[in-house]
Each structure stands twice: as structure tokens, then as C-alpha cells.
Amino acid sequence: MNQKLPVPERLLAAAADLFARDGFDAVSVRQITSRAKANLGAITYHYGSKEALFHAVIDRVGAHLADRFVSIAAEKGAPLERIGRIVTMVLTEPNLPAPTMILRELAMDRPLPPPLVQMMQRNMGAVMGLIREGQADGSIRHGDPALFAMSVMAQPFLLRMVSRIPRDIAGIDRNDPETQRKLVKHVVTTITRSLAS
């Protein structure tokens, strides 16, 4: 850990790595502070609690993804094209924030952390806006924009978060650039055709 970074930054970096690898419940305050090369009380001093630090990690890693959704949604082009760009980004973004951490939280039988809910609502809101825009111009069929947005987001996120399934079950090697290109094209085509009027 780079000790030149301020303690709060070191705590965030250490916690992000540990939470992504082991999950919130399995990571101790001692593990985080040890990795961050900070004293045991640093989390309480800087964040208030381990849970507040966890929320800060989610907020930090999710902000980039949410910003990308909103940015792509605001670009020029037909709504279906921009939806296709969002799907492509989710499938290809090299630094997609901590998918294992997000997946683990989604699988837990407890309320989602507020920063995760806010990030997902922001992402879904961007897609819903594109769907409404497409419905208004006639390029997207009529239906509930929220249900359509969930369908748009589900497939690329699932493929991204559980990347072992395509490899282990279907023999699809996403590390091969040509295979990755075909997979992205297939998913974009499937989603946009299901929305088209």
C-alpha cells in the first residue's frame, strides 16, 4: 500500500480490494487497517464504522459506472443505438467497478446498501429515459419503461459479473478478442431487437 496516500484513501483502497475478494461480513476492521497500514481506530475516525466505509467504497466504485451510463445516454444518436452503446460499455469496460462485490451484495438476504441502490437507480433511470425517448419517436415498442430497462441491464451485467459461466458452461472465451466482439454484437442485437417497434 502506498503510504504517501492519505489514510482515508488507503482505507478505501484496502477495503475495496478486501470486500471484493471476501465480502463485507468476512472482512475485519483489523484486516482493512493492516492492509492500509493505518492504526486500528482509523476506520472509526475517518468513516465512523466499517459499514460506512463499505458504503463509501460502493459510492466510489459505482460513481464511475453511473457517470458512464449518463454520459452515453446523453450522446447523439437514436435511442436504440445509445442503448447498444451502454450494453457494449458494460460488456467491455476494462475497469468495471468490483463486479464480484456488487454481485455478492445482490445475493445477500438483507437490504441493499443505499449507495448501491442509488447507483442502480441512476443507471436504470438513464436507460428508462432512452426507452421513453424511443417510445416517443416510435423506434421502441410500447410497454413499461422500468421493465424494459431491467431487461436491458440484466443480460450484460449477468454476463459480466459471472464471467465463468460463458467460459465453463458454453466454452466462450471472453479473453479472445474475436469471441468478445461476437458476444457483444450478439447481446446488443438481442436487446435492441427485443425493444424495437
Our CA angle for 189, 190, 191, nearest 5°, is 95
- Whether residues 16 and 65 share a domain: the answer is no
Helix axis angle, 99-107 to 145-161, nearest 10° = 120
User: What is the C-alpha to C-alpha distance for residues 35 and 37, in angstroms, rounded to an integer?
Assistant: 5
- pLDDT by position in tens, the chain (length 197): 667 899 999 999 999 889 888 888 999 999 999 999 999 999 999 999 999 999 999 888 778 888 888 999 999 999 999 999 999 999 888 766 566 677 777 777 888 889 888 988 999 999 999 999 999 999 999 999 999 999 999 888 888 777 777 778 888 877 888 988 999 999 999 999 999 99
Q: Residue 115 and residue 123: Cα distance in Å, rounded?
A: 12
Structural domain boundaries, residue 181: 58-195
Domain-located, residue 63 = yes
User: What pLDDT was estimated at residue 122?
Assistant: 92
C-alpha cell at 71: 454520459
**Tally of domains within the chain:** 2
Does residue 53 belong to any structural domain of this protein?
no
Q: Are residues 112 and 63 in the same domain?
A: yes
The CATH number that applies at residue 66 is: 1.10.357.10
Q: Is residue 118 part of a domain?
A: yes
pTM passes above 0.75: yes
CATH number for the domain that contains residue 24: 1.10.10.60
Give residue 7's pLDDT: 96
Check residue 30 and give its pLDDT.
97
Together in a domain, 102 and 43: no
